[in-house]
Amino acid sequence: MSLGASFRSDKDSISRFAADGNDQPKRKPVSAKKLYSMVRPDWIFGIFGSIGAFVAGAQMPLFALGVTQALVSYYMGWETTKKEVRKIAILFLCGAVLTVFFHVLEHINFGIMGERLTLRVRERMFGAILRNEIGWFDEVSNTSAMLSSRLETDATLLRTIVVDRSTILLQNIGMIVTSLVIAFILNWRITLVVLATYPLMISGHISEKLFMTGYGGNLGKSYLKANMLAAEAVSNIRTVAAFCSEEKVIKLYADELKEPAKRSFRRGQTAGIFYGVSQFFLFSSYALALWYGSVLMSKELASFKSVMKSFMVLIVTALAMGETLALAPDIIKGNQMAASVFEVLDRKTEVLSDVGEDIAKVEGIIELRGVEFRYPSRPDIVIFRDFDLKMKAGRSMALVGMSGSGKSTVLALILRFYDPTAGKVMIDGKDIKKLRLKSLRKHIGLVQQEPALFATTIYDNIVYGKDGATETEVIEAAKLANAHSFISALPEGYSTKVGERGVQLSGGQKQRIAIARAIIKDPAILLLDEATSALDVESERVVQQALDRVMKNRTTVMVAHRLSIFKMLMLYQFCRTENRRTGKSLNFVEKRMGPILS
């Protein structure tokens, strides 16, 4: 039942996201200058690639001209025919050699540019994502599954539009320019007549382009929601398997695919109709050119040779132009994804991390003064109002209370995951808004209820707490956390891989590694967010021994539901009360002194 409710609530949130997504302001279109600025560092590859693309494109109309000349030569005398065919064959061989060279030049340079662009975009997007404040990640549209999917798809599609499609576009432009020059030289009359029909061919492609812009814009977002559901199911596969809910999850995933599949099908049908209309105009222009060529020949204004050559070259031109215009849907889709990329890159975080005063030393005095706070994702719910709290340096303090009373929120405010809407959070008498964020957090250690371990070695997980930590420091931190003995007993010791989210270790082992990671930087302030609540009795005892050891001589704030784990601590008990005037629940704090017994 709980699993069904969980996935149902996820589905409801996805539906809400779809609804909210329709109300979101339309993204600003990305200018070509801004789009191509992403490949500016690789401009030299772009120049050589463009040269290769132009020449490669120009070869096709020249090939058509050569084939037509060979066909025409068969209507001449046999000696003339042999001479012309031999000459054209030699020219084709030379052209084949040049084709290899220029295509290699084109694809190598644009390939390098594309790979570097993908790498650059992903690095910048990932950096921009990590710079955002924690409240940004609370939004439904910024879940881990969606963000990871955007990192993959947006960067790849940006490469497609900026490099891959531009390569084809440049090649076709070279083909069109060469074809028109040759056609005008051979017979300008037929060329003008065929060009007069091009607006009809283009109209079909323009209609398709407008349709794709207005109708298929959010299809990618629809698939992102399905991807998010799949990622959550895979990450919670043990829960899914335990409740035999594979079929249920598959059905939910299939339901999320139905709407984008329907829209994609309808879009494909309409696009096919428009494309068919454009092809109708294309072949009609061929018929017109052939008929008009016969008229010119009857009036002796053109020869058979010039008419055939012009016709063949113009066919190549029409095909190239049709292919170029057929890229319109991909260009439109790529521009939308480019807007998504720059939406992430250009966003200004509300909590700046690289500004403010550096602090070399922290005593550990923490004070919350007149704090009012609402979570950005739940602005209607007041968590704190006129909230005051003061913690002395080097002392340990416990925050207890029911779920939702605001205990963990205090820790989030101290770490400046969020800024209060009113009031101040101060450390050593300084408003933390005026301190450089990275400098502040270097003096704070955090141990959470569910330790977040990375899929690497135990050693790397502990070193994660302090850049440049030595092996001696790692072992000392592990000893303080009661972790060294069990780590040393493992076959690979500190080189043991913990698996995704630490699945290879028990809950108590993961928690002790998290404690070692928190204290390796010797923080002046230690925040413990229900660090033992998810453990069994024996694991809790071992972890509590480690906590008792590392809490000495540092300001420690502990959060828990149970009073039994606290000894001689200053205790703040969080409660909830109903405001009779507004009807909203507010927090108040009752200050008590230990020892505390349940």
Nearest to 188 by CA among 61, 306, 65: 306
- Asked if residue 357 belongs to a domain, the reply is no
How high does pLDDT run on average in the chain?
76
Looking at the structure, tell me whether residues 327 and 436 fall in a common domain.
no
pTM over 0.75: no
Nearest to 323 by CA among 203, 473, 171, 471: 171
Q: Domain boundary at 314, 345, 376, which?
A: 345
Residue 104: its pLDDT value, please?
92
Looking at the structure, tell me whether residues 213 and 297 fall in a common domain.
yes
Q: How far apart are CA 509 and CA 512, in angstroms?
A: 5
Residue 336: its pLDDT value, please?
63
Q: Domain boundary at 292, 316, 345, which?
A: 345
pLDDT tens for each residue of 442-465: 888 888 877 778 888 888 888 888
CATH of the domain at 243: 1.20.1560.10
pLDDT tens for each residue of 367-377: 888 888 888 88
Q: What is the DSSP letter of 161?
A: I
Q: How far apart are CA 272 and CA 5, in angstroms?
A: 42
Looking at the structure, tell me whether residues 165 and 28 fall in a common domain.
yes
Q: By residue range, what is the domain housing residue 97?
A: 2-345
Q: How many domains does the chain have?
A: 2
Name 114's Cβ contacts closer than 8 Å, sequence gap at least 6: 159, 163, 164
Looking at the structure, tell me whether residues 54 and 169 fall in a common domain.
yes
CA angle, residues 468, 469, 475, in degrees to nearest 5 = 160
pLDDT of 473 strictly over 50: yes
Residue 334: its pLDDT value, please?
59
pLDDT tens for each residue of 421-444: 888 888 888 888 888 888 888 888
DSSP state letters, 532-550: TTTS-HHHHHHHHHHHHHH
CATH of the domain at 388: 3.40.50.300
What is the pLDDT confidence band of residue 108, given thresholds at 50, 70 and 90?
very high
Looking at the structure, tell me whether residues 284 and 428 fall in a common domain.
no
